[in-house]
Amino acid sequence: MTKSTLIGSPRRVLHGTPVVPGVVAGPVIVPGPRVAPPLDDTVIDPADRDRELQAFREGTKAVASRLQARAAVSSGAASEVLAANAAMATDRGWLGAAEKLIAAGNSATAATAAATEQFVAMFTKLGGLMAERVTDLRDVRDRVLAELIGAPEPGVPEPDVPSILFAEDLAPADTAGLDPAMVIGLATSLGGPTSHTAIIARQLGIPCVVAVTGLDEVAAGSSVLLDGAEGEITVSPDAAAASEAVAQYRLIAERTAAWTGPGATADGHRVDVLANVQDGAGARVAAETSAGGIGLFRTELCFLDRETEPTVAEQSAIYREVLDAFPDAKVVVRTLDAGSDKPLRFAEHPHEANPALGVRGIRIAARDSGILDRQLDAIAAAAEGVSRPWVMAPMISTAAEAESFAAKVRERGLVPGVMIEVPAAALLAERILDHVDFLSVGTNDLAQYTMAADRMSADLAELTDPWQPAVLSLLARTAVAGAAVNKPVGVCGEAAADPLLACVLVGFGITSLSAAASAVAGVGAKLATVTLDQCRRAADAVSQTADPMSARAAARSLLD
């Protein structure tokens, strides 16, 4: 049990990585203490080493079977992570390392701690997903240590009022048993968006922020307001403002749940609200939402694991699955955007010092158009007799590239368009529109190339923010160029997933918004609350600003 009294802490705002959206307020709870890994270096008498070994084996077996039992009564991702942790407790490599240490004279507890650190070092060195498993490994260690010294199992307390759980990181065994009615928010100081805390929080729908700086300075019992969409935690918030924020979020959530499309402003100005997908399964998930079609099918994501180029027939079957998910709707297929952060082995990228500025996207076709030609054949074959998809090329920088691409697409009876991701293309949108039937602005790359800031760099996230006025200015001129010749201009980068920014984009003249399926309803619902005139006034106001913060504030004042 934890105390529910509020402890006075100075008001401050902490920031982290947003994982699960939602706004909640309540007192902080923290997990119970874990057994400190023993530092003792006592050498066990050879006669007693067998006893230590026995204790270690029984301890790990007990922990594994407890985790397995919990996995059996859980479901989905919770069950999977519990089973994976049970497997970790019986991993031959880890057991072997500890048993070797025991045979050399270490106590069972010291061997458990030391063997774990060997594996932690190995996982950390491997980085990425493996490094995120370190918390799971340490959780197994702590459970075995508690078992060995007869201490209670470490874990999350059961609060008596709805509370927000703060921790360094949470092990799956902790998160899997959470009751979302009582643990209404989660925040960790470690962990990435793919950590187990994040996976379970998503499954349980608990608003969650990870990698929060300064979290460990907040005492249990402190009152906090957590915003899982913004990745923001306010410590000791004004009580009335906190309740207002929670109520406001509930209202938006209800409005979002009730939105059924089609995309339009409150005064009936139609805007296609579409989904971004990466394969047939994703397209079927999108079809369950109120998305009016597909605004971006990232075809390269279907083939990241391929050594050799998929045949036309194989590609055609995959594309057909996506077309079939939206039989009577608009589907925009993007040709392979290979290269940079999405290398395709069969596209044989040359080694480049700076791949984001190298041979990627449509540039691959300049050397050899075979892969592009065969992909267009496959798209045409998939569409035969069922639909007439729009097909666009990524990474266009010149009107000549657009012209040659459009000719190939038209030859096959498809509708040609290009992405506007390079500032040069935005600046020459009018010339490009001489050749294609539509444009789609990829704000992720447009921000990267406009701001000369790597989109993968967390340090430069402020520069790659799509609210950067320079990025919005290029986007606005692209929309104006499209309107002048009555050709559609959509947005399919992350900017379209932000409901507030989506309204500003409509104000600029953008005709369709395409976002991850999970963001579609939020965008559609927000758009339905504002008029076209409001959107236009917000776009004008944003155009006068000089930084993302002022741009957001200007938009909020006219659209919220």
Question: What element of type H or E holds 377?
Answer: helix 370-383
298, 320, 330, 408: which one binds ligand PEP (CB under 6 A) = 298
Could you tell me the two tokens for 31?
A: 């997990």
Q: How far is the CB of 441 from ligand PEP (least distance, A)?
A: 7
Q: Which phi and psi (to 5°) does residue 157 adopt?
A: -70, 160
* Contact status: 445 vs Mg ion (CB under 5 A): yes
Could you tell me the two tokens for 358?
A: 């190298």
Query: Is 444 a known ligand-binding residue?
Result: yes
Q: How far is the CB of 515 from ligand PEP (least distance, A)?
A: 10
52, 139, 272, 445: which one binds ligand PEP (CB under 6 A) = 445
Q: Nearer to ligand PEP by C-beta: 237 or 442? A: 442
Stretch that binds ligand PEP, among 2-10, 114-122, 383-391, 439-447 (CB under 6 A): 439-447
Q: How far is the CB of 530 from ligand PEP (least distance, A)?
A: 24
Q: How far is the CB of 519 from Mg ion (least distance, A)?
A: 17
- Measured CA distances, 339 to 76, 345, 349 (Å): 34, 9, 7
Q: Nearer to Mg ion by C-beta: 225 or 422? A: 422
154, 172, 339, 442: which one binds ligand PEP (CB under 6 A) = 442
Shortest CA distance to 205 belongs to which of 257, 245, 244? Answer: 257
CA dihedral 81, 87, 88, 93 (to 10 degrees): -150
Query: Is 48 a known ligand-binding residue?
Result: no
Inter-residue contact 172 to 147 (CB < 8 Å): no
* Contact status: 337 vs ligand PEP (CB under 6 A): yes
Residue type, 2: T
Binding at 492: pick from ligand PEP, Mg ion, none (beta carbon under 5-8 Å per type): ligand PEP
For the stretch 119-126, contacts whose Cβ atoms lie closer than 8 Å and that sit 24 or more positions apart, written own/partner, are: 119/93, 119/94
Could you tell me the two tokens for 73?
A: 């009564």
Q: Which phi and psi (to 5°) does residue 475 adopt?
A: -65, -45
Query: Is 284 a known ligand-binding residue?
Result: no
DSSP string of 462-483, one letter each residue: TTT-TT-HHHHHHHHHHHHHHH
Rounded Cα–Cα distance for residues 212 and 293 (Å): 37
Q: Is 203 exposed, middle or buried (0-12, 13-18, 19+ CB in 10 A)?
A: buried
442, 499, 507, 524: which one binds Mg ion (CB under 5 A) = 442
How many residues lie near Mg ion (CB under 5 A)? Answer: 3
Could you tell me the two tokens for 560?
A: 């919220």
Residues in contact with ligand PEP, shown as a per-residue x/- string from 460 to 499 under the rule CB under 6 A: --------------------------------xx------
Strand, helix or coil at 158? coil
Q: Minimal CB distance to Mg ion: which residue?
A: 445
Binding at 401: pick from ligand PEP, Mg ion, none (beta carbon under 5-8 Å per type): none
Stretch that binds ligand PEP, among 18-26, 256-264, 302-310, 443-451 (CB under 6 A): 443-451
Strand, helix or coil at 418? strand
Could you tell me the two tokens for 508?
A: 């600029």
CA 395-398-403 angle, 5° bins? 95
Stretch that binds Mg ion, among 69-77, 153-161, 321-329, 416-424 (CB under 5 A): 416-424
Q: At a CB cut-off of 8 Å and minimum separation 6, what does 222 contact?
A: 6, 7, 9, 27, 28, 235, 236
For residue 398, give the DSSP letter: S
Q: Nearer to ligand PEP by C-beta: 393 or 428? A: 393
* Contact status: 136 vs ligand PEP (CB under 6 A): no
Query: Is 41 a known ligand-binding residue?
Result: no
Shortest CA distance to 373 belongs to which of 401, 402, 347, 408? Answer: 408
Q: How far is the CB of 153 from ligand PEP (least distance, A)?
A: 44
Q: How far is the CB of 242 from ligand PEP (least distance, A)?
A: 35
Residues in contact with ligand PEP, shown as a per-residue x/- string from 383 to 422 under the rule CB under 6 A: --------------------------------------x-
Inter-residue contact 226 to 256 (CB < 8 Å): no
Rounded Cα–Cα distance for residues 43 and 57 (Å): 19
Rounded Cα–Cα distance for residues 202 and 196 (Å): 10
Q: How far is the CB of 494 from ligand PEP (least distance, A)?
A: 7
Q: Nearer to ligand PEP by C-beta: 43 or 456? A: 456
Catalytic sites, residue numbers: 196, 492
How many residues lie near ligand PEP (CB under 6 A)? Answer: 10
Binding at 443: pick from Mg ion, ligand PEP, none (beta carbon under 5-8 Å per type): ligand PEP
Could you tell me the two tokens for 542?
A: 């944003």
**Site residues for ligand PEP per CB under 6 A:** 296, 298, 337, 421, 442-445, 492-493
- Give the residues lining the site for Mg ion (CB under 5 A): 421, 442, 445
Binding-site entries for Mg(2+) = 421, 445
> Binding site: which residues?
298, 334, 421, 444-445, 455
Which residues define the annotated binding site for phosphoenolpyruvate?
Answer: 298, 334, 444-445, 455
